[in-house]
Structure 1
Amino acid sequence: MALFADVASLAEYLSGEPSRLKKRAAIAAALRSAHSAAPASNDAGLLALYIAGTPFAESDPRKLNAGGALLSSAIKAITGATDAALTTAYRRHGDMGAAAFDLWPLQATVTLTLSEVATTFAAMPFAKTTAVRGELVQRLLRRSSPLEAKYLLKLMLGDMRIGVKQSLVEEAIAAAASVEDGTQVLVKAVRHAVMLEADLSRATAMAFSGTLDQAMMRLFHPLGFMLASPVESPEEAVARFSSKPIDEAEEVRVEAFLEDKYDGMRAQIHCGESSRVAMYSRNKEEITESFPDLLEAFASVPASTGGLILDGEILGWDFATGRALPFAVMGQRIGRKRVQAELLRKIPAVFMVFDLLYSAGELQLDKPLKARRNALEAIVEQLGTLATSPIPIEDRTPPAQADLFSQLEPTAAEEEKFARLMLSPSRLVESAEEIDRAYAAARARANEGVMLKAANSHYQPGRRGLAWIKLKRELATLDVVITGAEFGHGRRAGILSDYTFAVCGPAFHQTGELLNVGKAYSGLTDAEIAELSAWAMAHTLEDQGHFRTVEPIRILEVAFNNIMRSERHASGFAMRFPRILRIRDDKPLEEIDTLDRVEEIYQSQVDKPVE
């Protein structure tokens, strides 16, 4: 049986190897060795899964429920380390697994097998208490060498940090399963099987057995989301999508669909199989429980559709005006396990669909966007009167999916049902001027901007290519002063790289009042971060461990997409998607922006909440 030490040793090698080809070769060799040693076992599949950084298959909804607090307690219990010692080790590496490696007692024998790790992982989601789960973790770790403990902790936290993505493991599976007699396993076939089955371990077994062509699509596991690349102007968008003119006299025409870019929550909805419904976020987390109004509506989708996977945006919706609610309002519903009737009334949700990934028992990904759009329009027309649900007038326990159609009779006030499925308007565009007008109209509707999608593009899960682009413009910039710095993680461990910043408060000229308005960690070069980190160390006013307050003398220019009212900062505002544009050492503190300026920008937003 393969040992977890094999995974740990391989992961340690991969973390220090910059060559992608050498990484792939090392993973392939380890997979081939694990399969040859025990062809009937699942060792090779588990090795592939763990090196990819996932304790369970993507199609498996189980969670380890092992957070930082539980794992920190386990480390201290086994090593005898104090809080201070663990904090020091963590700050040194920015990684709990590496911190544990520094503190771990030596283990003379290494006997922990992959199947034993899998058995413990399988038990953890069903542990009835944190204490029971903690005991399972400790039992596993007490049998581990320092290197095994390092990578067990990384695996449980879902952050291996070894420079290996799933796509590289898929390539290694294909290489490992290819044999000397000339039979070649194609990476494309492995990736297709992984997409259909959502199970890297099972795809590994299928590759070695030559049965990749038997992979079958199943609903209720998320496919990768196709992503868009940003552009800064309509002219840049036209250059991306223009067809080549036949002669110089012919006008260049754009071959792209244009639609509004909504500021909601990107999601997939899987439905149409019995009355089951599942919703998945962009990071592939299931979010169904947070949207019982959508669950009830999409449970009405008939099985005659052959099952559907729809790609779109979950929006808070104002049915009176026919517009999306600001994200600052919609955000109140995100992440909730139980949504009270009051919130369902205040922020009703709709699903703004813009793509079709699966229907009539077939994936639609390889069809051009034009064909997918035509099919989607027909589906939305069919489901428009079915995918509806009422706005509740009182709290009630969310029904189990199987019980959706066995509820008590609704009151007269509840009988009105609202359409929860909407089709994102889309049209072909032909010029930069048309895109510019569409952008202005989208902002007037309180949407983020516009999307442009190549009319003949296929859907590429998990890819950010040039077939889809998004045009968003920064709302404004502010000159701010750094008031605090926080240590980063991973590559930025030991570096003060996350900066909290402030604007002048109303009493600035009397008392020097500064009010924090945001925090950012992106936009600077490595050299600039190193310089700012050294400066923050030298100008620390208060050391709070992971965070330091600093002398307010360094000025930054920051850009952002939105400003929201927020209790997170003393200013009463928070920036959305802040980015550092540059360090402004040419500006004195007295010239930074004020709270009045922040309020002015906030009030200028067409998508601010109604107050």
Structure 2
Amino acid sequence: MHAFAALLDSLIYTRGRNAKLKLIADYLLATPDPDRGWAMAALTGDLDLKGVKPALIRALIEERVDPVLFRMSRDYVGDTAETVALLWPAPVVPVDPEPLSITQVVDRLRHLSRTEAPAMLATMLDRSDAEERFALLKMATGALRIGVSARLAKTAFADAFGLDVEAVEEVWHGLSAPYPELFAWATGTGAQPTVADVPVFRPFMLAHGLEDARVDLADYAAEWKWDGIRVQIVHVAGQTRLYSRTGDDVTGSFPDVAAAFAETGAVDGELLVKGDAQGGEAASFNALQQRLGRKMVSAKMLADYPAFVRLYDILVDGDEDLRALKWTERRARLEAFVPRLDPDRFDISQVIDAADFTALEGIRAGSRDAAIEGVMLKRRDSPYTGGRRAGLWYKWKRDPLTADCVMMYAQRGSGRRSSYYSDYTFGCWTEEGELLPVGKAYSGITDEELRQLDKFVRNHTTGRFGPVREVEKTLVLEIAFDSIHTSTRHKSGVAMRFPRIARIRLDKPAAEADRIATLQNLIT
């Protein structure tokens, strides 16, 4: 664990991408199997130790130190793992001095039940120094948050062994940690893993924002950008898997979709939920959220929120890889492929018929469908390439909605914002004059605005509830959001999609902030 702890510590304090790549690559070259495989699983988010949850860690530390001291320290530090690592007391009874390895940690924790995990985790923490405890807790909870994406970790792996990162990404999700086949291939002691019999994930093609540019529709096709979650569906050798944009396997959350896809191939589309059990139109993202993140889906959930996929592209048809073809050729193949699928579960995203870009602007401006997020512009001769490539695909999100809201509560952020009150809950007025929360935001502001809002919170606090501060209801924030939906979970009855702070309205009295009825009129 010591070497892995040193790696995490170095990554936290390293800013440059190339420097981070070298740190990870050097670690992988110097570390034996299977430790380096488990380290890669931790760095890429593929390590799941189900017996260890944040509540367990909080319970362990509060048994050993004053709970008030822990909570105050956590509030100041902004990270549970770091706080516990620093506060954990030396054991009263001497413990085994032999250092722990990553493999020992994983082997002992991944098969434990939640009742067995506390004693084992406590023993490991007793055997570790502060740096090792930090690494152990980060790894155990699966929330490293050290500025390293899964893609960057895979790039570092490829750099370390002189491999093509796209070839690594191609087979990654068909393999299991600690990836013995991958390291055997990397070190020249084994063959390259293939995709012939495994439904592997292929990197999504992504888009740049359109900004203020205009394109010629003779060169670009326009499609709606649907407001669901992007998925890739792969069927090979009798197996079907659904992958999210980040490559996570979400098949378990959508067994109905997986069961309906039995054609050998791989497609790219938007996972949506139908507006009602009999209709075919897409419901808002709020309906889809009822299905997200569930490892077990009940029959009632399947019936109440039937999922379907609106297809954008086809990557593989049978055993033929189509990604090198032009978009126009792939589109023709997709249109021939879709009729072979269950029409209740799959349809195709239609191309928008617009004479020119000016006409497209009018069509986009007039659309407020709850399931439409904007417009995609795809170069007609573009191949399907992983990642973002300049000039090929653009996303043109519709203009955000805005509302003037009153700050109600604030909470400290995490990471570099842990010293500031940077997470704000805001509300709007009922017709009776009651202020009810309608959302929470922490993005959209500059560092100077952050300091300004932090100062307001500290000088206008009226109540304290653990880490939360209630403030005087006098400051208006203009909130931008993509859409708004009915919500039974919130007392206000509404929920915003992607709220962020557009500006601080020092010029506007709180009494003149928007009413909830105004927000309800924006629901589509």
Distance 1:106 1:370 in 2: 66
What are the residue-to-residue correspondences of 1:110-189 with 2, within 5 Å?
111-124=99-112, 127=113, 130-177=114-161, 185-187=163-165, 189=167
Q: How does 1:130-279 map to 2 (within 5 A)?
A: 130-177=114-161, 185-187=163-165, 189-192=167-170, 194=172, 197=175, 201-202=179-180, 203-209=182-188, 213-216=192-195, 219-231=198-210, 236-238=213-215, 242=216, 254-271=218-235, 273-274=237-238, 276-279=239-242
The number of equivalent residue pairs is 519
The match for 1:450 is 375
1:269–1:280 contact (8 Å) kept in structure 2 = yes
CA distance in 2, matches of 1:215, 1:340: 35
Distance in 2, matches of 1:465 and 1:83, equals 52
TM superposition score normalised by structure 1: 0.76
| Distance (whole Å) between structure 2 residues aligned to residue 25 and residue 346 of structure 1 | 49
Tell which deviates more after alignment, 110-119 or 480-489.
110-119
The counterpart of 2:392, out of the listed 457, 462, 467, is: 467
Question: Structure 2 CA distance, aligned partners of 1:566 and 1:201?
Answer: 43
Q: Which moved more, 1:540-549 or 1:286-295?
A: 286-295
Shift of 1:28: 2.6
Structure with greater proportional helix content: 1
Report which stretch shifted further, 584-593 or 134-143.
Answer: 134-143
Q: Summarize the alignment of residues 422-571 of structure 1 with structure 2, pairs less than 5 Å apart.
A: 422-426=347-351, 431-440=356-365, 442-443=367-368, 447-461=372-386, 463=388, 467-508=392-433, 513-571=434-492
Q: Is 1:597 aligned with 2:522?
A: no
Is 1:42 matched up with 2:34? yes
1:93 aligns with 2:77: yes
Structure 2 residue 206 is matched with structure 1 residue 281: no
2:318 alignment partner AA: A
Deviation of 1:575 after TM superposition, in Å, equals 1.6
TM-score normalised by structure 2 residue count: 0.88
Residues 225 and 375, structure 2, Cα contact 8 Å, conserved in 1: yes
Q: Measured at CA, do residues 543 and 220 of structure 1 come closer, stay the same or move farther in structure 2, by a change above 3 Å?
A: farther
The 1:309–1:295 alpha-carbon spacing in structure 2 relative to 1, beyond 3 Å, is: same
Residue ranges of structure 1 left out of the alignment (5+ in a row): 36-40, 57-61, 178-183, 243-252, 389-418, 606-611
Divergent runs of 4+, >6 A:
none
SS at match of 1:494: coil
Residue in 2 aligned with 1:395?
none
Whether contact under 8 Å (2:228, 2:288) holds in the other structure is yes
Query: Structure 1 pair 53/472, CA: closer, same or farther in 2 (3 Å)?
Result: closer
Q: Kindly tell me: are residues 71 and 476 of structure 1, through their superposed partners in 2, closer, same or farther at Cα, counting changes over 3 Å?
A: same
The CA deviation at 1:153 is 0.8
Partner deviation per Cα, 1:324-361 (whole Å, 9 max, x = no partner)? 22333343343445555555444433221112233323
Q: Which moved more, 1:586-595 or 1:518-527?
A: 586-595
- Verify the 8 A CA contact 2:38 2:177 in the aligned structure 1: no
Aligned mates of 2:280, 2:41 — CA distance in 1? 45
Letter in 2 for 1:545: G
Q: CA deviation at 1:272?
A: 5.0
1:159–1:572 CA distance, 2 compared to 1 (3 A): same
Q: Deviations over 1:587-610 (max 9, x none)?
A: 2223222233223333xx3xxxxx
**Contact 1:357/1:363 (8 A) holds in 2:** yes
CA contact (8 A) 1:55 1:155 kept: no
Give me the whole-angstrom Cα distance separating, in 2, the residues matched to 1:344 and 1:214: 36
Alignment of 1:50-61 (within 5 A): 50=42, 52-54=43-45, 56=47
The Cα offsets for residues 413-445 of structure 1, whole Å up to 9 and x where unpaired, read as xxxxxx322122126866212322442565468
SS at match of 1:373: helix
Query: How much has 1:482 moved relative to structure 2?
Result: 0.7
1:533 Cα deviation after fit: 1.1
**Matching residue's letter, 1:66:** V
User: Match for 1:7 among 4, 26, 30?
Assistant: 4
Aligned partner of residue 209 in structure 1, secondary structure: coil
Q: How does 1:221-370 map to 2 (within 5 A)?
A: 221-231=200-210, 236-238=213-215, 242=216, 254-271=218-235, 273-274=237-238, 276-298=239-261, 301=262, 305=264, 307-318=265-276, 322-337=280-295, 339-370=297-328
Does structure 1 conserve the Cα–Cα contact (< 8 Å) formed by 2:170 and 2:200?
no
Distance in 2 (alpha carbons) for counterparts of 1:340 and 1:30:
44
Supply the AA of the counterpart residue of 2:332: N
AA aligned opposite 1:522: S
The superposition leaves residues 525-580 of structure 1 with CA deviations (integer Å, 9 ceiling, x where unpaired) of: 11211221122012111111221110111111111122222244442222221121
| Paired amino acid for 1:96 | T
Shift of 1:370: 2.6
* Cα-to-partner distance string for 1:112-144 (whole Å, 9 max, x where unaligned): 1232123124424xx3xx212333433433322
Give the C-alpha shift of residue 488 in structure 1.
1.0
SS of 1:484 mapped into structure 2: strand
Corresponding residue to 1:378 among 336, 343, 360: 336
User: How far apart in 2 are the matches of 1:559 and 1:327?
Assistant: 17
Identical amino acids, percent of aligned pairs = 32
Residues 6 and 322 (structure 1 numbering): CA distance in 2 closer, same or farther, change over 3 Å?
A: closer
CA contact (8 A) 1:44 1:201 kept: no
Q: Equivalent residue of 2:23, what SS? A: helix
Read off the aligned partner of 1:380 and give its amino acid letter: V
2:426–2:439 Cα contact (<8 Å) kept = yes
Distance between the aligned counterparts of 2:415 and 2:30, measured in 1?
A: 31
Q: Give the number of the structure whose alpha-carbon radius of gyration is greater.
A: 1
> Deviation per CA, 1:364-414, whole angstroms, max 9, x where unpaired?
444432332222222212x14xx26xxxxxxxxxxxxxxxxxxxxxxxxxx
Corresponding residue of 1:38? none
Residue 36 of structure 2 is aligned to residue 72 of structure 1: no
SS in 1 for 2:290: helix
* CA contact 2:284–2:485 (8 Å) conserved in 1: no
CA distance in 2, matches of 1:504, 1:537: 24
Q: Check whether the contact 1:481–1:503 (CA below 8 A) recurs between aligned residues.
A: yes
Could you tell me how far apart the structure 2 residues matched to 1:49 and 1:343 are? 32
- State the superposition RMSD in angstroms: 3.1
User: What is the distance in 2 between the residues matched to 1:212 and 1:494?
Assistant: 50
SS at match of 1:553: coil
Any stretches of 5+ residues in structure 2 without a counterpart? Answer: none
The structure-2 alpha-carbon separation of the partners of 1:198 and 1:525, relative to structure 1 and needing over 3 Å to count, comes to farther
Quick check: 1:43–1:114 contact (8 Å CA) kept in 2? yes
